[in-house]
Amino acid sequence: MQAIGTNIWIAWISDIVPIRFRGRFFSIRSRYLMISGLFTGYIFGIFIDFFNPKPTGLSKLIEKATPLGAIFKPENLTYGFTFIFTVAPYLGL
């Protein structure tokens, strides 16, 4: 599916963005995708750290202060990964 979509997208961008601006366009696009991917990786990493069997810091605070503490148990880690792999395609990752 991605192979079909990528070819269509490249043809569409070639029609929309003039050739003299195309390099700058892809440079800016790559920069934004790299920054958003970096932040998303950190956010998902923090999310997975909430499933630590011995919570510390922010994980411990969330466990004690909110009802979300019941969700972030080590036995629910598979649900955490399922959530990440379900959300990631919608973010374009």
pLDDT at 93: 66
Average pLDDT, the chain: 83
DSSP letters along 39-92, please? HHHHHHHHHHHTT-SS--HHHHHHHHHSGGGGT--GGGHHHHHHHHHHHGGGGT
Residues 6+ apart with CB under 8 A from 69: 62, 63
Distance separating alpha carbons of residues 13 and 25, to the nearest angstrom: 10
pLDDT at 56: 74
Instruction: Return the percentage of the chain with pLDDT > 90, whole number.
Output: 14
Q: What is the pTM of this model?
A: 0.61
Q: How many CB atoms lie within 10 A of CB 50?
A: 20
pLDDT at residue 66 is higher than 80: no
- pLDDT digit string (tens) for 3-15? 788 888 888 988 9
